[in-house]
Amino acid sequence: MECLGCRIANGIEPNLNIVYENELLTCVLDIAPFQEGHLLILPKRHYKDVEELEPQTAYAIMDASMKLSVVLKSLFAPDGISICQNGGKFNDLNHYHMHLIPRYEGDGFSWSEPLHPHGAELRLGETKEKMIRAINKEGKSRS
């Protein structure tokens, strides 16, 4: 297996800190955690981006995120939990994975604003209509 995410999800990589696993996914502690308890949820089958997931796998990932959020809250008493997934060129594993990150007020974790203004806030109505047309078209193509 050439994909690092596949090797992690299928237990091939050494020294994995697996905290939860089932037939569809593996949950491990991130090796470079933002906070204690920072987890990755990885499907065992190879997917790169969220839209590639089969519904059963997507459900399993969300179910695991809910179960593990309860565990993180009970063990570490964070002020909140950030759940995120990076796709496309921002997916550093080239394998779908979801992060669960315990968060604390003042922890320095940030969701930064774009460096350059893009004016998207001026086109909200136009963007909404464009998206509704695309969603309707996608729905018709799946029928």
Give the model confidence (pLDDT) of 77-122 as tens digits. 999 999 999 999 999 999 999 999 999 999 998 877 777 778 888 8
CB 38 within 8 A of CB 81: no
pLDDT, averaged across the chain = 92
pLDDT at 53 over 70: yes
pLDDT of residue 113: 72
pLDDT of residue 142: 65
pTM over 0.95: no
3-class state of residue 130 by DSSP: helix
- Side chain identity, residue 21: E
Cα separation, 19 vs 79, whole angstroms = 22
pLDDT of residue 143: 64
pLDDT of residue 54: 97
The Cα-based distances of 128 to 75, 118, 141 in angstroms read 41, 16, 20
pLDDT digits (tens, 9 = 90+) for 19-43: 999 999 999 999 999 999 999 999 9
Contacts of 78 (CB under 8 A, 6+ apart): 35, 37, 72, 102, 103, 104
Domain 4-109 falls in which CATH fold?
HIT family, subunit A (3.30.428)
